Structure 1
Amino acid sequence: MRYRTRVTAPAALLGTVAALSVASPAHADPETGTPGPETLGDPVFPSLGNDGYRVSAYHLDLAYDATTRLVDATATLTLTTTQELSRLSLDALGLDVHEVLLDGVPAAAREQAGEKLRITPAVPLAARTTATVTVTYTADPRAALAHTAWVPTPDGFAVCPQPNTAHTVFPCNDHPSDKADFTFRITVPAGLKGVAGGHLVSTEDLGDGRTAYCYRSREPIATEIVQITVGDYVIKDRQGPHGLPLRDVVPTARATALEPALALTPNLVSWIEQRLGAFPFETYGLLPCNNDASNAFDFTGLETQTLTLYKPNFLLQAEKSIGSHMMHELVHSYFGNSVSPATWSDLWLNEGHADFYGLLYRYERGWADSLGLTTMEARMKDTYARGDQWRKSSGPVAAPNEANLFDSQRYLGGVLVLYALRQQVGETVFSAIESTFLERFRNASASTGDYIAVASEVSGADQSGFLGDWLYGTKTPRMPGHPDWTVTPVSSALRQPQNRTDGHWHDNSATL
């Protein structure tokens, strides 16, 4: 767990944007500073991030023009250098950059090269010094990028940054290992609302028909699960367990039709709190973001922090068709959001846990799954039979590549690993492993190795060999407690893991 310095929210949250007052940073010897490494070494997305600094806070100030449908924005990053820097870079793509300031002074040079915005200070920055970088830019949510986090809607937009496209919305160190505090200021014309993750701090009438909505996150957010949305919305507030504020952001035209699904959330939260502890954030809710009946984008749900993005038509189905998937997305508040993956090869920790509890929720209610099965044991036996085929076609559970990152091996394959561990150590110890892991890495990032270490510590036995075989082996290990279970030979015809062609949606969840 890295050390994070919490910072005061920018003054813009309290009204008109104000200049940030920051002490001048220490400078390095011009002869010793070096460019920050333009990578954080991720095994799946090695081009993401910069290892020359860590971000402690983002302030995003966005203004939406309903006529041009463009977004004029300023992103202010507070960062701490990890080395002497003659140059640093931010991940940025498809942004029309107008100005870059370093501690209020124009950068000596800036360059947009590929997916990097390279910034050269007048004097190299010393190691372990704090600085602010302010980038003013314009973005077009409808731009025809091959990979983008923007989801344009008939009356605005939402954003879907997972896994590697937050930098098409704002310049950032775009990797879940570098979580930071976020504040947002969203200015919109009359008739629209601006909403973001976290809680509403203030609403300001600007006197020209525009309104500025300001939000702050109580906990840090990984760039891949930031949510910013503009549209013709009604905000539906209700109370969850223990007074937890629940906030749904719903297209005005569909608010009545979507209410039965939205009303399910309090009981879903209560169920998961009994198993994973108190909800980790200040609020939770759903965002079915397109306000017409068409399928404006092809996905089901995405766990953007405190405000899960959904396809509205999916939520119009009966409870037994959507309840387990709603649980899947809710579980991500714990696994994926509160505890983020240290690298993208650790994705199984997010998706395996989300499907594990989503399936438990389904079977507890006697709802048959897509295979017609009604118990966890039956589903795991079926999944176990596919194990060697999936390991051959999709690799081990904890060793994905970019092409197969979001296929079933990370989802159901991850569930099978957790089921095997529960079989090995017993339900009571398994629950203790889960709670210890969540508490130890809350508001931080954790790796597969971290999970194995917690499992070993809590169980009182070294689980590295057992879990190592399940997570990295090329053959499916024997299932504890089920010596009769067999793996179908690879040569036999088996249902292949399903690849999600768009790269980041949860259509492939086992709970559907």
Structure 2
Amino acid sequence: MRYRTRVTAPAIALIGTAAALTTAPAAHAAATAPAASGRRRAPAAKSAPGPETLSDPVYPSLGNDGYRVGAYHLDLAYDATTALVDATAAVEITTTQCLSRLSLDALGLDIRSVHVGGRPAAFEQADEKLRITPARPLPEGCRTTVRVAYTADPRRTLAHTAWVPTPDGFAVCPQPNSAHTVFPCNDHPSDKAGLTVRLTVPDNLRGVATGRLVRTERLSGGRTAYTYRSGSPVATELVQITVGDYVVKERQGPHGLPLRDIVPTARAEALEPALALTPNLVEWIEARLGAYPFETYGLLPCNSDDPKAFDFTGLETQTLTLYKPNYLLQEEKKIGSHMMHELVHSYFGNSVSPATWADLWLNEGHADFYGLLYRYERGWADSLGLTTFEARMKDTYARGDQWRRTSGPVAAPNAANLFDSQRYLGGVLVLYALRQLIGEDAFHAVERAFLARHRDGHASTEDYIAVASHVSGQDVSGFLREWLYGTTTPRMPGHPDWTVTPVPQSLVRPDARTGAGRHDNSATL
């Protein structure tokens, strides 16, 4: 959340292995083989520019079609004197149509050169797109590497940015639509890909990224390069890259899970009580949702408490949850449910990413659902002073029509209200209603089946509805669609006495754009 087994996937090659243009055998044969004697060659498919959208209902300009990304290999060098990042992004793609031109999302990056399949390519930057024209059209099914050399300034002022500048470096906060201010990419959660990051930094700093450390190189000039590789596909909005004066604290989680925290050196001792909570949190959620889905987990209390640069409490970047350090200095009952919320995102949001941004309730509703359960099991009062899940759901239910009027249905957000309470507690209420209808055992079976079926991929609201109907043995599609898309709040199963507070006529219409930017609703847990 913006608030926010072991892996068996094959290893991703390190930077430098992606090289020349290759084509799938069928495509290559069609493009290069001479026509057989006495036969006419089938006409070649006509190439065209790839669409500069994936038609997301919330961010229609985000993402690009005509190809899918297999892996990102990022090589970034941080200059502490200038605070600039010199970078190369090697993007392995497979085309899904014949392309005369393709595009990547990119904003605020000073592009120096672009190569496709090892050959120089023409390029232009227009709005938030990097348009690339290869030396020759790419046939359908072509596997190739797009290599972009560029410079980035983490302190540059942009319309939106993922960069979080710190006194000693930076971290990144890409969610929902800002990864492409850090590296050129197909910036949409439906196109997850492998990830390798090589970070070169001065010896007095540490470079850290999503995944596990696989190589450390001591370089000349007082510099060190750290290479990290993810064992599972990553959505661009979940990439973490950070540089700073950090110490790495390692410990073991349940079943031997490696835990690593990246902690500001000056605050390492003070933050230890919060960091030490993680093993028990992992054990609690594994008992409900199954084995933790990635190769490692840990916290990154970013070395910044600047509210302007870091305007939320935490973010579930994959394998390494980003936090404001001062938040974690509080007592356990103040932070425990929030820490559970972010951990749950490893399952809902990271392992299973939303198919579109309209499906965000699947991430945030589930994260708040289990965060609240964890809180009430321990007898901790919530932000409203309530101490039971049922009491909180009754209070949320009463607000149902008001939220539908001001923020629209749970599964129908827009860019302005994407991170408001309707996607969080409104999503919890939907899950609670489903559990009331089908029973607790069937609900837990639905949860695990959904995660297993869509692991390392993405899923839509309709995918969840389909799993719920199949696993529960009853058609719950109409029930869930009414809860997710209806303009009024349905009756709550098992609670005929619950009532919805009438909505004053002065409130805005459902299509009004309310809220803005990043909104840390899980802080209200």
Same fold (TM over 0.5): yes
Task: Supply the distance in 2 between the matched residues of 1:500 and 1:230 (Cα, whole angstroms).
Answer: 35
1:396 pairs with 2:409: yes
Query: 2:176 maps to what in 1?
Result: 163
Query: 2:3 maps to what in 1?
Result: none
Q: Which amino acid is 2:13 matched to?
A: P
The 1:237/1:86 distance shift into structure 2, 3 A limit, reads same
Task: Supply the distance in 2 between the matched residues of 1:291 and 1:234 (Cα, whole angstroms).
Answer: 15
Q: Which amino acid is 1:103 matched to?
A: G
The 1:296/1:224 distance shift into structure 2, 3 A limit, reads closer
The 1:501/1:488 distance shift into structure 2, 3 A limit, reads closer
1:110 pairs with 2:123: yes
Query: 1:199 maps to what in 2?
Result: 212
Which string of whole-angstrom CA distances, capped at 9 and with x for unpartnered residues, describes residues 202-231 of structure 1? 100012200000000000000000000000
Q: Which amino acid is 1:54 matched to?
A: R
Q: Which amino acid is 1:70 matched to?
A: L
1:20 corresponds, among 18, 22, 26, to 18
The 1:318/1:255 distance shift into structure 2, 3 A limit, reads same
Task: Supply the distance in 1 between the matched residues of 2:115 and 2:468 (Cα, whole angstroms).
Answer: 46
Task: Supply the distance in 2 between the matched residues of 1:361 and 1:437 (Cα, whole angstroms).
Answer: 21
Task: Indicate if the aligned counterparts of 1:58 and 1:181 stay in contact, CA closer than 8 A.
Answer: yes
- Please state how far the C-alpha of 1:175 moved relative to its aligned partner: 0.2
Aligned pairs (5 A) from 1:153-232: 153-232=166-245
The 1:30/1:503 distance shift into structure 2, 3 A limit, reads farther
Query: 1:281 maps to what in 2?
Result: 294
Task: Supply the distance in 2 between the matched residues of 1:30 and 1:165 (Cα, whole angstroms).
Answer: 38
Query: 1:144 maps to what in 2?
Result: 157
Task: Indicate if the aligned counterparts of 1:62 and 1:74 stay in contact, CA closer than 8 A.
Answer: yes
The 1:344/1:369 distance shift into structure 2, 3 A limit, reads same
- Please state how far the C-alpha of 1:8 moved relative to its aligned partner: 5.9
- Please state how far the C-alpha of 1:508 moved relative to its aligned partner: 1.2
SS at match of 2:22: coil
Which string of whole-angstrom CA distances, capped at 9 and with x for unpartnered residues, describes residues 359-396 of structure 1? 00000001000110000000000000000010011000
Unaligned runs of 5+ in 2: 1-8, 32-42
Task: Supply the distance in 2 between the matched residues of 1:242 and 1:266 (Cα, whole angstroms).
Answer: 10
Q: Which amino acid is 1:306 matched to?
A: T
Identity %: 76
1:127 pairs with 2:137: no
TM-score, with length taken from structure 2? 0.92
Which string of whole-angstrom CA distances, capped at 9 and with x for unpartnered residues, describes residues 373-430 of structure 1? 0000000000000000100110000000001000000000000000000000000000
Query: 1:263 maps to what in 2?
Result: 276
Task: Supply the distance in 2 between the matched residues of 1:459 and 1:381 (Cα, whole angstroms).
Answer: 24
Aligned pairs (5 A) from 1:35-114: 35-107=49-121, 109-114=122-127
Query: 2:433 maps to what in 1?
Result: 420
Q: Which amino acid is 2:59 matched to?
A: F
1:308 pairs with 2:311: no
- Please state how far the C-alpha of 1:130 moved relative to its aligned partner: 0.5
Q: Which amino acid is 2:141 matched to?
A: R
The 1:500/1:327 distance shift into structure 2, 3 A limit, reads farther
The 1:492/1:372 distance shift into structure 2, 3 A limit, reads farther
- Please state how far the C-alpha of 1:72 moved relative to its aligned partner: 0.2
Comparing 224-233 with 291-300, greater Cα deviation is found at 291-300
SS at match of 2:94: strand
Task: Supply the distance in 2 between the matched residues of 1:142 and 1:106 (Cα, whole angstroms).
Answer: 30
SS at match of 1:47: coil
Aligned pairs (5 A) from 1:455-494: 455-491=468-504
Which string of whole-angstrom CA distances, capped at 9 and with x for unpartnered residues, describes residues 32-55 of structure 1? 100001110100000011110000
- Please state how far the C-alpha of 1:247 moved relative to its aligned partner: 0.4
Which string of whole-angstrom CA distances, capped at 9 and with x for unpartnered residues, describes residues 130-187 of structure 1? 1110000000000011200000000000000000000000000000000000001000
Q: Which amino acid is 2:359 matched to?
A: D
- Please state how far the C-alpha of 1:292 moved relative to its aligned partner: 7.0
SS at match of 1:509: helix
Which string of whole-angstrom CA distances, capped at 9 and with x for unpartnered residues, describes residues 213-263 of structure 1? 000000000000000000000000000001100000000000011110000
TM-score, with length taken from structure 1? 0.94
The 1:291/1:479 distance shift into structure 2, 3 A limit, reads closer
SS at match of 2:417: coil
- Please state how far the C-alpha of 1:294 moved relative to its aligned partner: 8.2
Which string of whole-angstrom CA distances, capped at 9 and with x for unpartnered residues, describes residues 440-474 of structure 1? 00000000000000000001111110000000000
Task: Supply the distance in 1 between the matched residues of 2:22 and 2:386 (Cα, whole angstroms).
Answer: 63
1:443 pairs with 2:417: no
Task: Indicate if the aligned counterparts of 1:247 and 1:283 stay in contact, CA closer than 8 A.
Answer: yes
Task: Indicate if the aligned counterparts of 2:299 and 2:322 stay in contact, CA closer than 8 A.
Answer: yes
Task: Supply the distance in 2 between the matched residues of 1:23 and 1:97 (Cα, whole angstroms).
Answer: 21
Q: Which amino acid is 1:173 matched to?
A: N
Query: 2:34 maps to what in 1?
Result: none
Aligned pairs (5 A) from 1:300-339: 300-339=313-352
Query: 2:13 maps to what in 1?
Result: 10
- Please state how far the C-alpha of 1:504 moved relative to its aligned partner: 3.1
Q: Which amino acid is 1:20 matched to?
A: A
Which string of whole-angstrom CA distances, capped at 9 and with x for unpartnered residues, describes residues 10-35 of structure 1? 343xxxxx463435346778981000
The 1:30/1:171 distance shift into structure 2, 3 A limit, reads farther
Query: 1:15 maps to what in 2?
Result: none
Q: Which amino acid is 1:117 matched to?
A: L
SS at match of 2:384: coil
Task: Indicate if the aligned counterparts of 2:314 and 2:342 stay in contact, CA closer than 8 A.
Answer: yes
Q: Which amino acid is 1:32 matched to?
A: K
Task: Supply the distance in 1 between the matched residues of 2:217 and 2:193 (Cα, whole angstroms).
Answer: 25
RMSD: 2.0
Task: Tell me the matched-pair count.
Answer: 498
Q: Which amino acid is 1:253 matched to?
A: A
Task: Supply the distance in 2 between the matched residues of 1:94 and 1:275 (Cα, whole angstroms).
Answer: 42
Comparing 435-444 with 23-32, greater Cα deviation is found at 23-32
SS at match of 1:218: coil
